[in-house]
Amino acid sequence: MLIGDEGGDEGGESFEAAGAAAGGCFQGGRNEDALPDNFVRGRDASDIATGARARRTWRRSRRVVHGSARLALLALRAVARYLRDSPIRFGKPTLLRIARNWLAPAARRSSEVVRLADAPAAQMRCFGVGGAPRPNIINEWLLYTGRWQPALTRWLCATLQPGDVFVDVGANSGYFALLAAARGCRVVAVEACPTTFEALRANLAIGPLGTRVRAVQLAAGEAAGRVTLYQHRNEPLYNTTVAGAGAGGVAAVTDVWAVLQKSAALDAAAASAVSALAAERACWREVQVPQASIDDVLAGDERAPRVVKIDVEGAEWAVLRGMESILRQNDAPIEIVVELSPKWLKLQSKSARALLEYMNERGFHAYALPADDYEIARCHDAPPTAPPRPRRLHAAEAERLDAAADGVQLDVIFSRRDAEWLEKSLD
């Protein structure tokens, strides 16, 4: 589905405008009366004809380029659809390389609406398809696989039941919110970034599932107020409120780049690109956004959620402190998924072990989900598996995570079940 056309005839108009600004030399002789006689006669008269020929050649070339871009977009759509939908796995890694390295760069900029692989009733729009730069990492995964974070996706699909309440803190463009809505859940989707929130609203508007989602544009934290959001220009996955005054006075640009450069989610090429952009300090801008606690955001039946997912690039500790009354509901069958990154915690003088102890004091035990491989180039290397078995994460292992190299990151499920494996849902 082609949503937008960024080609158009702007180039032709710009060419004509440039010709006019240059004194009419590209106007094909239409302004000869306004030019000196010695310009339109003799040797200088050839400039007018040369300019006219150049203009005609440029227009023909533009039509050829635009035609090729349309063909590349059609081919990209076909290959992406095969990669998402075909049960045949043979050749998919090769087709993925062709799509990413050949078809996508040559395709006209557009956006595509795709169905989620694990919830076909849900649809999302992949923005920034074709041309340069590449789509952000979530949109690429959706375009070529129809899913995002496969291990967490499979666990949520096995856990959530119709009628459950799902709270998505750090909802981004709405993948997990729509996944839960497709399973019959009521959803509260909280997203801080104004730009990303517009993408979330656009996705919720695609189909009827959006009516099951209450979208809230604010940063979840410990208390009400306003907070600085460090917004990444190209990759909304890296938006954060941790750097800066809100995280112990750490300088925003320097520290955020240091984290991203060492992130396990970046391959060598991406890390190199991050380093280059870091030198320019061109990718981040500060945005003031409202902040509120989850205790204050949720109302009525929403205050008894079945699952809360928290992925806010380092601000998870503050979010948990802002849902104290919900955590103290001892009779509620609640499980909380938290993206645990010791590097981000260190920026706030916290640790993975301290987080586990904080939750244990409130009756929760930690279980680690198998790590997702965020590298899109390997997304078709292994077939989807059964729902993962989250394993118990003990304090000693949390200490090892704190002492490990920067970039360690995993999804942790906090549950009131006390076992070595989180084998089935709570009753």
DSSP state of 408: -
Q: Which of 88, 109, 130 is the last residue of a domain?
A: 109
Structure-token pair, residue 71: 């063909």
Q: What pTM did the predictor assign?
A: 0.75
Average of per-residue pLDDT values in the chain: 78
Whether residue 77 is contained in a domain is answered as yes
Same domain? For 162 and 18 the reply is no
Same domain? For 295 and 382 the reply is yes
Whether residue 236 is contained in a domain is answered as no
CATH of the domain at 163: 3.40.50.150
pLDDT (mean) for 361-370: 93
Q: Which of 93, 97, 113, 115 is nearest to 105 (CA)?
A: 97
Q: Which of 59, 82, 109 is the last residue of a domain?
A: 109
Amino acid 133: pLDDT? 80
Whether residue 367 is contained in a domain is answered as yes
SS3 135: coil
Q: Which of 109, 136, 168 is the last residue of a domain?
A: 109
Whether residue 406 is contained in a domain is answered as yes
- If one compares 264 and 137, the residue with the highest pLDDT of the two is 137
Amino acid 89: pLDDT? 84
Q: Rounded to whole angstroms, how far apart are CA atoms 117 and 344? A: 31
Same domain? For 76 and 196 the reply is no
10's enclosing H/E stretch is helix 10-21
Find out whether 312 and 319 touch, Cβ atoms under 8 Å.
yes
Give me the helices (H) in 41-123, please: 45-85, 92-98, 104-106
Same domain? For 161 and 97 the reply is no
Beta strands in 107-185 (DSSP E): 110-116, 119-129, 165-169
Same domain? For 215 and 299 the reply is yes
Give the pLDDT band of residue 345 (cuts 50, 70, 90).
confident
pLDDT digits (tens, 9 = 90+) for 68-95: 888 889 999 999 999 999 988 888 999 9
Whether residue 203 is contained in a domain is answered as yes
Amino acid 284: pLDDT? 65
Task: Choose the weakest-confidence range: 33-47, 128-142, 229-243, 385-399.
Answer: 33-47
What is the DSSP code string of 261-280?
Answer: HT-TT--HHHHHHHHHHHHH
pLDDT digits (tens, 9 = 90+) for 391-420: 999 988 888 888 875 667 889 999 999 999
Amino acid 66: pLDDT? 56
Structure-token pair, residue 19: 């010709």
Amino acid 43: pLDDT? 47
Same domain? For 340 and 399 the reply is yes
Amino acid 209: pLDDT? 95
Task: Choose the weakest-confidence range: 11-20, 35-44, 134-143, 158-167.
Answer: 11-20
Q: Which of 199, 201, 256, 200 is nearest to 229 (CA)?
A: 256
SS3 8: coil
- Angle formed by the axes of helices 150-159 and 175-182, to 10°? 30
Cα of 334 vs its chain's centroid, Å: 26
Same domain? For 102 and 156 the reply is no
Whether residue 116 is contained in a domain is answered as no
Same domain? For 24 and 101 the reply is yes
For residue 298, pLDDT over 80 is answered with: yes
Domain that holds residue 337: 149-227+265-274+287-415
Amino acid 344: pLDDT? 78
Q: Rounded to whole angstroms, how far apart are CA atoms 182 and 179? A: 5
Q: Rounded to whole angstroms, how far apart are CA atoms 303 and 326? A: 7
Amino acid 21: pLDDT? 36
Task: Choose the weakest-confidence range: 86-100, 178-192, 290-304.
Answer: 86-100
Amino acid 219: pLDDT? 93
Whether residue 423 is contained in a domain is answered as no
Whether residue 165 is contained in a domain is answered as yes
SS3 259: helix
For residue 315, pLDDT over 90 is answered with: no
Same domain? For 348 and 203 the reply is yes
Amino acid 253: pLDDT? 45
What values do phi and psi take at 192, rounded to 5?
-85, -40
Same domain? For 176 and 311 the reply is yes
For residue 229, pLDDT over 60 is answered with: yes
Residue 33: CB atoms within 10 Å? 8
**For the chain, what is the radius of gyration of the CA atoms?**
26
Q: Which of 300, 341, 296 is nearest to 321 (CA)?
A: 296
Q: How many domains does the chain have?
A: 2
For residue 45, pLDDT over 60 is answered with: no
Amino acid 186: pLDDT? 97
Same domain? For 269 and 370 the reply is yes
The residues, any chain, with a CB within 8 Å of residue 262's CB and separated by 6 or more, are: 343, 405, 406, 407
Amino acid 252: pLDDT? 43
Same domain? For 294 and 394 the reply is yes
